Every structure is written in structure tokens, then in C-alpha cells.
């Protein structure tokens, strides 16, 4: 499947979500990643065509720049602590709507925004659709940690849960990836047998210095998958 087809799949999913869920006088959470670009472009079109009053709350520096560059109204959680809807992407979605997010390193802010929203909608292309987590996405579960604690946290995860944990390294700079919040990202390559994600998520969050996981459990209301034939598959 060509890259154009994959980009088209992202676009149809993004447009469907924006058309169905964005209403006048809404406060909208804007996620991060490549699929969100199409959602923001479509949102800008609708705001212009329909004269909508919409405030956009970003989940990352990238999302903030997208909002500004598309001349949309920028908000934050201080002025808008309750959101009507958040539209975000995912690295993988399983059959129970459990998500892996954080491939782009924005999981902490993404989860905070998602937790403040009335309706959390996910948009993705068909390659993100799995029966179980780890089936398609092979880069591990992203985990945001306080820098001083990254080594003991890596050891604790491996000792308690198995698998392998690695510190995510930057591509265009020497050293590790640093998040928008000044933290490090660990990627946990978990054992194939893992399925009890609610329990695992809770246990991980008990580790001191571990700030947030890229596991989004029982948070998404609906996922729109753009399919190879141009259709959109809905999962609830």
C-alpha cells in the first residue's frame, strides 16, 4: 500500500471525526501526531465556512503550533478546565479500545487533556487497528519518567513485569529524548502474554518517579479508522 493511500486513510478518519463531533461554542482538545494535522485543517475549514466559535486546547508544542498556524483560537486548561471533545491519534488500538500512545513523546499532556474532556475521540489509519496491544506496534509502551529516576524505574519494570525497557534516544541530538515537560521517555517491550492492561497500568503508576504511561484504558468513546478503500470504520 502506497504512502499516499495511508495519508488518505488518515485524512478521511480525521475529517469524519471533526464533522461529527465539533459543534459551535465547543472547547476542543487537539491531539498530537501526523493524523491530527488533517483534523486541524478540516477544523479550520469548518470554522471559516460555518463561522464556528471554537476554542482549541493543545496537547503539545506541535499541537499548539498547528492551532496558531491555522488561525484557530488557542486556549488552555487554566481558562477551560472542562472540554467538550478531544480528538487525538493513537499508535495502536485493541479490540477493547485500549490504546498505546506516546510514540511522539506527548503522552503525559495527551492523557491530562483526555481526562478533562467529555468525549474522547481517536482517529487513526487502518494499520493501528489490532486485536491485542503489541500486535502491530512494535516500539514498546511509552512511559514518561523523572530523569533522575530512569535507571531504577527501568529495573523495577523489568523485575516486576518482564520484558525489556530502554531509554528513548534522540535522533538529531546526542542523548535522550526530552519531553515538552522536561522528562525522559522509556519504551517498555512488554511480554506477548500481557492482557490485563487496567491492572498493569495501575501497578506501573505506583512506581515513584514514573509520571504517566502511554496506556489509555477505558478513555476513548469511539475510534475512527481510515481504511484502504477510502471508507471509515467505527469502533466503540
Question: Which pLDDT tens digit goes with each residue over 1-50?
Answer: 455 589 999 999 999 999 999 999 999 999 999 999 999 999 999 999 99
pLDDT at 192 over 90: no
What pLDDT, on the 0 to 100 scale, is given for residue 234?
A: 98
Question: Taking the domains of the chain in order of start, what are their residue ranges?
Answer: 3-128+217-226, 141-213
What pLDDT, on the 0 to 100 scale, is given for residue 2?
A: 53
Average pLDDT score over residue span 175-183: 97
pTM given for the model: 0.95
CATH of domain 3-128+217-226: 3.40.50.1360
Average pLDDT score over residue span 122-148: 97
Average pLDDT score over residue span 184-210: 95
Average pLDDT score over residue span 214-223: 97
Question: Which pLDDT tens digit goes with each residue over 45-100?
Answer: 999 999 999 999 999 999 999 999 999 999 999 999 999 999 999 999 999 999 99
pLDDT at 194 over 90: no
Strand order across the beta sheet in which 210-213 lies: 164-167, 184-189, 141-145, 210-213
Could you give the 3-state DSSP secondary structure of residue 70?
A: coil
CATH topology of domain 141-213: Alpha-Beta Plaits (3.30.70)
Domain 141-213 in the same topology as domain 3-128+217-226? no
Strands (E), the chain: 26-30, 54-58, 73-74, 83-88, 92-93, 99-100, 117-125, 141-145, 164-167, 184-189, 210-213, 215-216, 222-226, 232-235
Q: Which residues are catalytic?
A: 110
Task: Say if CB 167 and CB 116 are below 8 A apart.
Answer: no
Please list, in sequence order, all residues whose beta carbon lies within 8 angstroms of the beta carbon of residue 123, skipping any fewer than 6 positions away: 10, 13, 14, 16, 17, 35, 36, 39, 87, 88, 89, 223, 224, 226
Mean residue pLDDT across the chain: 96
Average pLDDT score over residue span 94-118: 97
Amino acid at each position: 500500500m502506497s504512502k499516499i493511500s495511508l495519508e488518505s486513510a488518515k485524512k478521511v478518519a480525521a475529517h469524519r471525526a471533526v464533522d461529527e463531533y465539533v459543534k459551535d461554542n465547543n472547547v476542543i482538545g487537539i491531539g498530537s501526531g501526523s493524523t491530527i494535522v488533517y483534523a486541524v485543517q478540516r477544523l479550520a475549514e469548518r470554522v471559516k465556512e460555518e463561522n464556528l466559535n471554537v476554542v482549541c486546547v493543545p496537547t503539545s508544542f506541535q499541537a499548539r503550533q498547528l492551532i496558531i498556524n491555522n488561525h484557530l483560537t488557542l486556549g488552555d486548561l487554566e481558562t477551560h478546565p472542562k472540554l467538550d471533545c478531544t480528538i487525538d491519534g493513537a499508535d495502536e488500538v485493541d479490540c477493547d479500545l485500549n490504546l498505546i500512545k506516546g510514540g511522539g513523546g506527548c503522552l503525559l499532556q495527551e492523557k491530562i487533556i483526555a481526562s478533562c474532556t467529555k468525549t474522547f475521540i481517536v482517529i487513526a489509519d487502518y494499520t493501528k487497528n489490532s486485536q491485542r496491544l503489541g500486535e502491530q506496534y512494535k516500539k514498546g509502551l511509552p512511559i514518561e519518567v523523572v530523569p533522575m529516576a530512569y535507571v531504577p524505574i527501568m529495573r523495577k519494570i523489568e523485575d516486576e513485569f518482564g520484558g525489556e525497557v530502554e531509554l528513548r534516544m534522540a535522533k538529531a541530538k546526542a542523548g535522550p529524548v526530552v519531553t515538552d515537560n522536561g522528562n525522559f521517555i522509556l519504551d517498555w517491550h512488554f511480554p506477548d502474554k500481557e492482557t490485563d492492561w487496567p491492572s498493569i497500568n495501575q501497578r506501573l503508576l505506583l512506581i515513584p518517579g514514573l509520571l504517566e504511561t502511554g496506556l489509555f484504558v477505558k478513555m476513548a468513546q469511539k475510534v475512527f479508522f481510515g481504511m484502504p478503500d477510502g471508507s471509515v470504520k467505527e469502533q466503540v
